[in-house]
């Protein structure tokens, strides 16, 4: 029976030559089959076997207030997710001919609702805000059984399905099986064995991104890392670097240093949730970070003592329903607070996260304006790693 937990495991099995039927029938649980089917469909789309001229792929959540579609930069963003990831009305969003479409993927031969009515509502709002059109896409198992006359033409469900048909973006399992065979042949012909190499091939060939590249560490980043290594036995550190000086990279280098030195789980928090995505993008971008395992706050409940790596989440997320999250917070042996001048330098954070129990943990605070944090936590001067505009000016004079 199926033991698929992550989407990437299906990609790996396709590369090993497993057939469509072997994969889809690896579980007799209809719900799990649906998630397996969804992953296969998404891969067929990415390999341009269904929409050959697409421009971008996005996993942007439609219910975000005044959302903008953010194209994925790496297939990792989709494949590193759990199989049953389902926190979005649109299973995938595709830009083709300069128009975005949201898609619903459903498996099962019974008559059932899609998510296209809800997608339509979000997409109409998006279209008004951006003065553009939108399309809808639909993949089902059997169009004859699932999309039959039981829906009157005036019903909302019938209207959205008609729009998907007009857009020529309706497919069924026969289409997927055909696309699967072509996709598998392409993948196997690459003779790739490592998942990272498969990711790089897909990124370069289909997502028009360079795949992983090598990291060029800037002087200020290297200096901060050396200072951090020298003070690694200290429990509190502050990265006080000016804005746009590469703090995200520096913090990831520090987190990597912790993992190399016996720390098991690093909790990276920010008071500005929008800054979480750059962490994921940088981890997926550079060869130097390819061995770092990470999870987002959506996977919070699945963290246990067997996980070694980084968890990325907002401070607000941790403090909401705190009593239910407290035991998992205790599993982390080190903390990184990005943008620590917002909501992280206070008694609430000290009590609920840093002093969650009696165990001592290492903390790294990061901010372009770190004065309040340095004072509140009384961080030793030797553990405050500064880089400001004057340092940058001097460095430019030195290099010129």
Residue 400 pLDDT exceeds 60 = no
Both tokens of residue 386? 């500064």
pTM: 0.76
Tell me the mean pLDDT in the region 199-218: 91
Cα dihedral 264→269→275→278 (10° resolution): 0
Backbone angles phi, psi at 320, to 5 degrees: -85, 130
pLDDT classification of 1: cutoffs 50, 70, 90: low
Instruction: Please state the three-class secondary structure of the chain as a single string.
Output: CCCCCEHHHHHHHHHCCCCHHHHHCCCCCHHHHHHHHHHHHHHHHHCCCCCCCEEEEECCCCCCCCCCCCECCCCHHHHCCECCCCCCCCCEEEEECCEEEEEEECCCCCCCCCCHHHHHHHHHHHHHHHCCCCEEEEECCCHHHHCCCCCCCCCHHHHHHHHHHHCCCEECHHHHHHHHHHHHHHHHCCCCCCHHHHHHHHHHHHCCCCCCECCCCCHHHHHHHHHHHHCCCCCEEEEEECCCCCHHHHHHHHHHHHHHCCCCEEEEEECCHHHHHHHHHHHHHEHHHCCCCEEEHHHHHHCCCCCCEEEEEEHHHHHCCHHHHHHHHCCCCEEEEECCCCCCCCHHHHHHHHCCCCCCCEEEEECCCCHHHHHHHCCCHHHEEEECHHHHHHHHHHHC
User: Residue 150's pLDDT is what?
Assistant: 47
Tens of pLDDT, residue by residue over 259-300, are 999 999 999 999 888 889 899 999 988 989 989 999 988 889
Tens of pLDDT, residue by residue over 91-129, are 999 999 999 999 999 998 777 788 899 999 999 999 999
Percent over 90 (pLDDT), the chain:
70
User: Residue 2's pLDDT is what?
Assistant: 65
Tell me the mean pLDDT in the region 63-87: 85
Residue 248 pLDDT exceeds 80 = yes
- Which CATH superfamily is 219-399 part of? P-loop containing nucleotide triphosphate hydrolases (3.40.50.300)
Where in the chain is CATH 3.40.50.300?
Answer: 219-399
Closest among 33, 35, 16, 15 to 24, alpha carbons compared = 33
Burial 187-210 (b: 16+ CB within 10 A, else e): beeeebeebeebbbbbbeebbebe
Backbone angles phi, psi at 160, to 5 degrees: -70, -35
């Amino acid at each position: 029976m199926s033991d698929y937990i992550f989407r990437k495991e299906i990609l790996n099995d396709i590369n090993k030559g497993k057939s469509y039927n072997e994969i889809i029938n690896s579980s007799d649980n209809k719900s799990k089959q649906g998630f397996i089917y969804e992953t296969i469909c998404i891969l067929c789309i990415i390999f341009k076997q269904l929409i050959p001229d697409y421009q971008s792929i996005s996993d942007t959540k439609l219910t975000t207030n005044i959302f903008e579609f953010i194209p994925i930069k790496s297939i990792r963003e989709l494949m590193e997710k759990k199989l049953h990831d389902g926190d979005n009305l649109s299973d995938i969003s595709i830009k083709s001919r300069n128009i975005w479409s949201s898609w619903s993927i459903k498996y099962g031969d019974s008559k059932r609702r899609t998510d296209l009515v809800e997608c339509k509502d979000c997409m109409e709002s998006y279209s008004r805000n951006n003065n553009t059109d939108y399309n809808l896409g639909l993949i089902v198992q059997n169009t004859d059984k699932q999309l039959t006359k039981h829906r009157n033409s005036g019903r909302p469900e019938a209207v959205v399905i008609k729009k998907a048909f007009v857009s020529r973006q309706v497919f069924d399992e026969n289409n997927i099986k055909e696309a699967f065979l072509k996709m598998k042949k392409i993948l196997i012909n690459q003779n790739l064995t490592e998942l990272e190499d498969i990711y790089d091939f897909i990124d370069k060939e289909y997502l028009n991104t360079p795949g992983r590249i090598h990291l060029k560490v800037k002087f200020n980043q290297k200096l901060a890392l050396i200072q951090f290594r020298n003070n690694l036995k200290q429990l509190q550190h502050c990265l006080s670097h000016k804005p746009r000086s590469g703090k995200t990279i520096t913090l990831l280098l520090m987190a990597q240093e912790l993992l190399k030195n016996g720390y098991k789980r690093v909790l990276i928090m920010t008071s500005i949730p929008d800054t979480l995505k750059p962490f994921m993008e940088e981890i997926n971008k550079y060869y130097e970070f390819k061995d770092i395992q990470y999870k987002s706050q959506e996977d919070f409940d699945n963290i246990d003592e067997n996980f070694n790596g980084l968890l990325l989440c907002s401070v607000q997320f941790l403090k909401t329903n705190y009593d239910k999250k407290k035991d998992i917070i205790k599993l982390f042996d080190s903390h990184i607070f990005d943008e620590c001048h917002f909501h992280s330098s206070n008694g609430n954070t000290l009590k609920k996260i840093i002093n969650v129990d009696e165990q001592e943990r290492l903390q790294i605070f990061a901010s372009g304006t770190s004065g309040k944090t340095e004072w509140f936590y009384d961080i030793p001067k030797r553990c405050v790693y500064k880089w400001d505009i004057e340092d940058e000016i001097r460095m430019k004079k030195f290099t010129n």
